[in-house]
Structure 1
């Protein structure tokens, strides 16, 4: 089994490919990478960020993949820095025909990330329509659906409304992550067709860059290994929340991102 991870590479701090690659490999999922951008750091908590668009390199790499006859059993996309890059990926996944997980990385905490423009949002929504599975956080779900729920606490009705609109775009399966629940705590709301399940967990009072990448990587890896969707979503939720807890317990500076080393053994213990 071989999959392609289409994500950015932050040279400092844990997020995107520095999370995705080790997690998928820990799950024994052979992973190739297609870097969408090169960043000096991840974008949450740092200023004066160097960002290099990777469009031309992406075109050249995909061309070489085709010439070499390289194929993939699944594709997993995350942060894609430009509308042109997203259009390239849309064309690629259409030709490949492999299962596609889209993590529509655009924002958090009710705000767009500083590097995400309106053109990227519009193109990302088109990519979401191609996804077999999507994993937006609560902010990204709202960006896509435009239901107007904003930064407030979410009721059951609000969650079901968001899922209804997201399903109408095409993805048969998905998880909205990091939902601030009206009843207290946080939740991940997963759907598979008409069935919806809510996995609740404690709010640690802090979020770490890369935690969404960790969740989606776990989910994707487990699904590719043959786990049922809801089982994969539950295990990914439990392990990602454990990672957040351990990162906080170790006193790690938030902007450095999720701490992977203390939880790799836990990932293996839970998943293999």
Structure 2
């Protein structure tokens, strides 16, 4: 009997052991959606960096590159390379290596390097290397700050209009020559996501009073899974935005926001529908 395995997604991302961010969000989502996530840690942290103090870091230099070479030697078939937090030259080289080793795979890059108008600590020299890597991806998923950095443009201080958001996404798509989804767009009472493939389109959700770390990772994971199911970029972006909005809405008002959204009770909504 021929065995059937779920499509493999290489997750070249950080492993934050406390807090629902990085692989803590990506791996459960992709597994629930019917794929086989293969974690390739670019950094191992005691917690994410969004408000839980300075994390303890395990030196993982060189691991990702060696692991990828080992998977290639095994003949592992990879359907998607999902690259996220790449904190140093070694991890960025590993992401480029994965893109090169599996050229037919869907290549996604979440250029996790900045938010709220500022670069993350330690990412001061990351913009140009990540810009070069982004140009090799099939789809790039920056937040507003990251999109402006990739374009070398100032980050707007207030709400943006739909026309401005679509123009930004189009400029980034043309600059990188790849598909783009820009997240975290402030639009007054709404928060927006603007995607630019062949054309630009906008998804808006009501802005909620609280914010959580890891929601960008959650969005990217649902989007990746939806695309791998064969959905159009517009449908995938809408599905991902809705799931993140529902997860935030279902997180208890007394929740410690530093630990991320309580998405786990909603995972069943992402599971594939099985016939029979």
Same fold (TM over 0.5): yes
Match in the other structure for 1:164: 170
Cα distance in 1, alignment partners of residues 185 and 267 from structure 2:
25
Q: 1:110 to 1:95 in 2, by over 3 A?
A: same
Q: What secondary structure sits across from 1:12 in the alignment?
A: coil
**Contact map agreement 1:149 1:158 (CA 8 A) in 2:** no
In the TM superposition, residue 139 of structure 1 has moved relative to its aligned partner by: 1.4
* In the alignment, structure 1 residue 262 sits paired with structure 2 residue 265: yes
CA contact (8 A) 1:109 1:151 kept: no
- Asked if 1:113 corresponds to 2:131, the answer is no
Pairing 1:6–2:12 present: yes
Look up the match of 1:155.
161
Cα 1:269–1:205 shift into 2, 3 Å: farther
Q: Tell me how far 1:228 sits from its aligned partner.
A: 1.5
| Alignment CA distance shift 1:67-1:215 (3 Å) | same
TM-score for the superposition, normalised by structure 2: 0.90
Q: Provide the alpha-carbon RMSD of the alignment.
A: 2.0
Specify the alignment match of 1:185 in structure 2. 190
Q: SS of 1:251's equivalent?
A: coil
For the pair 1:100 / 2:104, whether they are aligned, the reply is no
Compute the displacement of 1:108 (Å).
1.5
Report the CA distance between 1:96 and its aligned residue: 1.6
Q: Which residue of 2 aligns with 1:209?
A: 213
| TM-score, normalised relative to structure 1 | 0.92
For 2:142, which of 136, 139, 158 is the aligned residue? Answer: 136
Structure 1 ranges of 4+ moved more than 4 A: 269-272
- Unaligned 5+ residue runs, structure 2? 1-6
Q: CA deviation at 1:175?
A: 1.2
Counterpart-to-counterpart distance in 1, 2:264 and 2:94: 34
Q: How far is 1:165 from its partner?
A: 2.5
What number of residue pairs does the alignment pair up? 268
Q: Deviations over 1:187-223 (max 9, x none)?
A: 1111222x11111111112221111111100000010
Deviation at residue 238 of structure 1 after TM alignment: 0.7
Deviation of 1:269 after TM superposition, in Å, equals 8.2
Offset of residue 143 of structure 1: 1.6
Q: Is the 8 A contact 2:117 2:155 kept in 1?
A: no
